[in-house]
Chain A
Amino acid sequence: MESGLIVRSIRILLIILTAALVGWIFYGRSSPRPVQAAGVKPGKDRHDAPDFALKDAAGKVVHLSDYKGKVVLLDFWATWCGPCRIEIPWFTEMQRKYKDEGFAVLGVSMDDEGWEVVKPFLSQAGVNYRVVIGNDETAQMYGGVDALPTTFLIDRDGKIAAVHIALTDKKDFEDGVEQLLEEANKVADNRVR
């Protein structure tokens, strides 16, 4: 009698799990995700950006926490990703335009071949910001990052303020970065007063 109850419970659990898997597969995993709007979250809704330690082209270990106090555009990309290649010149331009205001772009390449393919690309594209080679562990920390490009805007407190999955309008990035830089300036002004 008791074992029958256990079997029924497990059966219901399996049905729920299967339904959840179906939902995850159809809507969470494989569906083309819509391009997200700029949507910088209010401060209270932001969560800490996970820290990582990855090597740059010079072999130096880069921690995300090294950038605390700056607004960071964290771009997950790959050389084989066409939409990523469209955004990279924008980020190069933004790095030039905003770097003196406390802004930095940090690229995370998800190329399996690593520097062998990434270095020539960076040189050819004239990338002026730091790039590190990512791995599955880093991707998992940021929610999987299966779709590229995926770009996070991180505020000066090291919190994720916006996420853009897929090719996004240049203006959305610029608006987001300017909003975060402005926020930081307002906080500084209030402190002075």
Chain B
Amino acid sequence: MASNSCWKRLTKWLIIACVSWAVLAQATAHLSVGAISKVAGKRNAAIEARIPVAIQPGFHVNSNTPSDDYLIPLKLKWTAPGALEAGQIAYPKPSQEKYDFAEKPLSVFTGNFDLVAHFKVAPTAPAGPGVATGKLTYQACNSTTCFPPKTIDINVPYTVQ
């Protein structure tokens, strides 16, 4: 009995430690994605999902239309949209920032912004909940250092009404 309770408490603390680590890791990454609100629509309806993105202060990521060919763009691609048909993705207007390591200003995203993903509910979509999944690729730098490109999973919860 005592041993059983011991394992329960141990498991609880392990879960707390893992969640804390995951939350902190997400919070301190160069780019983090906030909670994505559930979207809903009837068959054939056009719906949009807002994906809140935050760039760590002091850092930037290349925009979806970088200034030079060698720069890796921020890009969102749907890998499994489920019962939704993926449409256009609206990226924010990039800012033009000048850094010591580049001769001309670079097209970048900084701070907080939303990506707006447009979908159409498939005509044959079954009613009920689902999740559209995609991958967000980005590459972050500050004024003197760059970090390897990263890809993170994006999940948009939806309901077909």
- The yes or no answer to B90 lying at the interface (CB within 8 A) is no
Contact with B along A78-101 (1 / 0, CB 8 A): 111111111000000000000000
20 A–B contacts, CB within 8 A, in A order: A3-B2, A7-B9, A26-B24, A29-B28, A30-B30, A30-B56, A32-B59, A78-B148, A80-B71, A80-B149, A83-B101, A83-B145, A85-B70, A110-B148, A121-B70, A148-B146, A165-B145, A167-B101, A167-B144, A167-B145
In the complex, residue of chain A having the shortest beta-carbon distance to the beta carbon of B66: A80
Q: Are A26 and B28 in contact (CB under 8 A)?
A: yes
Please name all residues of chain A whose beta carbon is closer than 8 Å to the beta carbon of B10 when the two chains form the complex.
Answer: 7, 10
Q: How far is A80 from B102 in the complex, measured between Cα atoms in Å?
A: 12
- The yes or no answer to B152 lying at the interface (CB within 8 A) is no
- The yes or no answer to A147 lying at the interface (CB within 8 A) is yes
In the complex, residue of chain B having the shortest beta-carbon distance to the beta carbon of A83: B101
Q: Are A14 and B72 in contact (CB under 8 A)?
A: no
Q: How far is A132 from B72 in the complex, measured between Cα atoms in Å?
A: 21
Q: Are A32 and B100 in contact (CB under 8 A)?
A: no
- The yes or no answer to A33 lying at the interface (CB within 8 A) is yes
Please name all residues of chain B whose beta carbon is closer than 8 Å to the beta carbon of A146 when the two chains form the complex.
Answer: 147-148
> What number of residue pairs across chains A and B have CB atoms under 8 A from each other?
90
A158 to chain B minimum Cβ distance, whole angstroms, is 27
- The yes or no answer to A11 lying at the interface (CB within 8 A) is yes
Interface size class of A (residues with CB under 8 A): 35 or more
A149 to chain B minimum Cβ distance, whole angstroms, is 8
Please name all residues of chain B whose beta carbon is closer than 8 Å to the beta carbon of A110 when the two chains form the complex.
Answer: 148
Q: Binding site of A, secondary structure by majority: helix, strand, loop or mixed?
A: helix
B residues lining the A interface (CB < 8 Å): 2-3, 6, 9-10, 13-14, 16-17, 20-21, 24-25, 28-30, 56, 58-59, 70-72, 99-102, 106, 139, 141-142, 144-149
Please name all residues of chain B whose beta carbon is closer than 8 Å to the beta carbon of A83 when the two chains form the complex.
Answer: 101, 141, 144-146
Q: How far is A99 from B99 in the complex, measured between Cα atoms in Å?
A: 32
Contact with B along A10-41 (1 / 0, CB 8 A): 11001001100110011001101101000000
Q: How far is A85 from B2 in the complex, measured between Cα atoms in Å?
A: 62
15 new A-B pairs (CB below 8 Å) besides A81-B141, A146-B148? A3-B2, A3-B3, A7-B6, A7-B9, A14-B17, A18-B20, A29-B28, A30-B30, A80-B149, A82-B71, A82-B99, A82-B106, A112-B149, A148-B145, A148-B148
B15 to chain A minimum Cβ distance, whole angstroms, is 10
Please name all residues of chain A whose beta carbon is closer than 8 Å to the beta carbon of B2 when the two chains form the complex.
Answer: 3
Q: Are A84 and B9 in contact (CB under 8 A)?
A: no
Q: How far is A86 from B139 in the complex, measured between Cα atoms in Å?
A: 18
A17 to chain B minimum Cβ distance, whole angstroms, is 7
Candidate in B59, B71, B142, B146 with the most chain A CB atoms within 10 angstroms: B146
Q: How far is A80 from B68 in the complex, measured between Cα atoms in Å?
A: 10
A residues lining the B interface (CB < 8 Å): 3-4, 6-7, 10-11, 14, 17-18, 21-22, 25-26, 29-30, 32-33, 35, 78-86, 110, 112, 121, 146-149, 165-167
A32 and B148 in contact, given A6-B6, A14-B17 (Cβ under 8 angstroms): no
